Each structure stands twice: as C-alpha cells, then as structure tokens.
C-alpha cells in the first residue's frame, strides 16, 4: 500500500510507508486542552469510544514514562475490547509516545503510537502516527479496525465481498 489516503471533513488518513498509518486533524482549541482530552480518563471517556453506542468503560492511565495504561471498550454489539500499553515519552502539551496492543489481537504484535500537537493562533493540529511491526500487521489493523466486533453483519459483508472478489 503506497501512500494512499482518504479524507473526510478535516481528518486526513495516510499510509506514509508500508508499516505506518498517519492521521492529521485540526481542532479549534488550545493545545493544552487537546492534550488533556487525550490523557485524562474522565475526558477520554467522553469521546474515545468508536461508533455511537459504544463506551469506554475502563480507562486507567499512569501518565509517566514507563507508566502503563489500560482501556476497555464496550461495543454497541455488546462485546468488549481491551488495549494496553506503556508510555515511552511524554512532553506536555505537545507529545505522547506509547506502545499499544489489543487483547483480542486485531493485528499481530505491538504498535508504537506517536501523538504530536502543534498550536497556532488558538487552533491545534494533531498528527498521530501508528507504526506496526510489519506491513501485514499494519494492513490487518487498517482492515479490521476497531469495529471488528461491532455487528455480525459487517463480518457477513466481508465474507461476501471476498466471495465476489474471488469469483
């Protein structure tokens, strides 16, 4: 997958190389507030839960280098997903680097997530990069995403599409 991208609103998603997915998004808010929204459990629970009807039920964050985090989501379909990782770098309000892996193994191995915040005139540009262990891991993460367990219908669709493509 070379440098493909999709755009929607002001969210830009790209694949800058074979192991990474990058996103850019602009927020109409000062940087320290965006940083808080990414690092405070009571704020994360308000937005970081995927499709409507989902929830971030557990959000434990030990915000220091070497500290761990754990997120447990409920999906609209009633399933659970758990992500864990460790913080590698933290520079408030501009940088967070942490590892990430899912209990459900949506993708093989561990990813390294980098979140950078740059502020100019009251608006903040978020750039986040997820680096996977391999191209295959990256592509698997892109395909299965976070909604893997949401609705059985999506799985059926994927099987149909595979059938149609193969025929």
Which range binds another protein by CB under 8 A, 4-12, 57-65, 87-95, 97-105? Answer: 4-12
Residue whose C-alpha is closest to residue 99's, from 69, 143, 56: 69
Supply 145's token pair. Answer: 């995403």
CB of 157 to another protein, least distance (A): 6
Residue whose C-alpha is closest to residue 88's, from 103, 110, 118: 110
Nearest residue (CB) to another protein, 37 versus 58: 37
Residue whose C-alpha is closest to residue 27's, from 121, 131, 96, 95: 121
Binding-residue pattern over the window 20 to 59 for another protein, x denoting contact by CB under 8 A: -x-x-x-xxxx--xx-xx-----x--xxxxxxx-------
If you count them, how many residues does the chain have? 167
Q: What is the binding site for another protein (CB under 8 A)? A: 6-9, 11, 13, 21, 23, 25, 27-30, 33-34, 36-37, 43, 46-52, 141-142, 144-148, 151, 153-154, 156-158, 160-161, 163-164, 167
């Amino acid at each position: 997958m070379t440098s493909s991208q999709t755009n929607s609103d002001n969210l830009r998603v790209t694949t800058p190389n074979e192991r990474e997915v990058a996103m850019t998004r602009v927020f109409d808010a000062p940087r320290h507030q965006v940083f808080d929204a990414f690092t405070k459990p009571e704020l994360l629970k308000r937005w970081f839960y995927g499709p409507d009807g989902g929830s971030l039920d557990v959000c434990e964050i030990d915000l220091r280098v070497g500290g761990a985090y754990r997120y447990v989501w409920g999906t609209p379909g009633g399933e659970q997903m758990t992500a864990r990782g460790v913080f590698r770098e933290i520079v408030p309000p501009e940088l967070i680097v942490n590892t990430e892996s899912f209990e459900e193994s949506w993708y093989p191995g561990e990813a390294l997530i980098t979140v950078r915040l740059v502020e100019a005139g009251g608006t903040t540009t978020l750039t986040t990069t997820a680096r996977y262990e391999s191209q295959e891991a990256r592509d698997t993460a892109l395909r299965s995403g976070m909604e893997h367990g949401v609705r059985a219908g999506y799985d059926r669709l994927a099987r149909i599409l595979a059938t149609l493509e193969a025929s």
